Structure 1
Amino acid sequence: MRKRTRYTDEPLGELVVTKDFLPRPEELVLKEENVKITISLNKSSVDFFKKKAREHHTSYQKMIRRLIDWYASQQQKSA
């Protein structure tokens, strides 16, 4: 059983306003052009992504795609 939190009327201390860091709704609509490819990967690599995907309730293909996208964006920044 969880311990109940009891709130009091104590002063909160010094408050700091945080800049809005969330993207605008328009930025959340991802309409990127995808290209289908065929690729051969090591069985151990695919098994790794499948296991992690199950743990995080997502698709292993999506994880691999995001990894490649992240890598490409990092390389473009450094170029």
Structure 2
Amino acid sequence: MSAKIKYTDEPLGKVQVVADFLPSPAELAFREEGVKVTLALSKKSIEFFKSEATKHHTQYQRMIRRLIDAYVDAQAPTRRSTGPRA
């Protein structure tokens, strides 16, 4: 990589300025409020999450929380009224 790059003063062509789409540092640091719950899960489920968490160097509780959050996000657009069902 000893070849030098030769820059020229040529027109770039049609360019377009795009809006800044990156989140602010404050948005990146945001954490949702948590609610502690007691939940009994099957032994095989816990063993699975603990094994996967070890492989990915994270906490198994965090993986379970993200799984539930992903489920809620996927269901949100199709959720119907919470009123009584007929």
Tell me if TM exceeds 0.5: yes
The CA RMSD measured in Å over matched residues stands at 2.8
Give the corresponding residue for 2:54: 54
Shift of 1:31: 3.1
Could you say which residue in structure 2 is the equivalent of 1:14? none
Taking the aligned partners of 2:2 and 2:31, their CA distance within structure 1 comes to 45
- Cα offset, 1:7, TM superposition: 7.8
Amino acid at match of 2:41: L
How far apart, in 2, do the equivalents of 1:78 and 1:7 lie?
A: 58
Tell me the equivalent position of 2:68: 68
Report the counterpart of residue 36 of structure 1 in structure 2. Answer: 36
**Structure 1 consecutive aligned stretches of length 4 or more whose deviation exceeds 4 Å:** 6-9
Amino acid at match of 1:63: M
**Deviation for aligned residue 1:24:** 2.1
Q: Which has the larger radius of gyration?
A: 2
Question: How far apart are 1:23 and its partner, in Å?
Answer: 2.3
The alignment's TM-score, normalised by the length of structure 1, stands at: 0.69
Uncovered stretches (5+) of structure 2, i.e. residues with no partner: 6-15, 80-86
| TM-score (ref. length: structure 2) | 0.64
Deviations 1:12-48 (A, max 9, x none): xxxxx9x665422121122321110000111111100
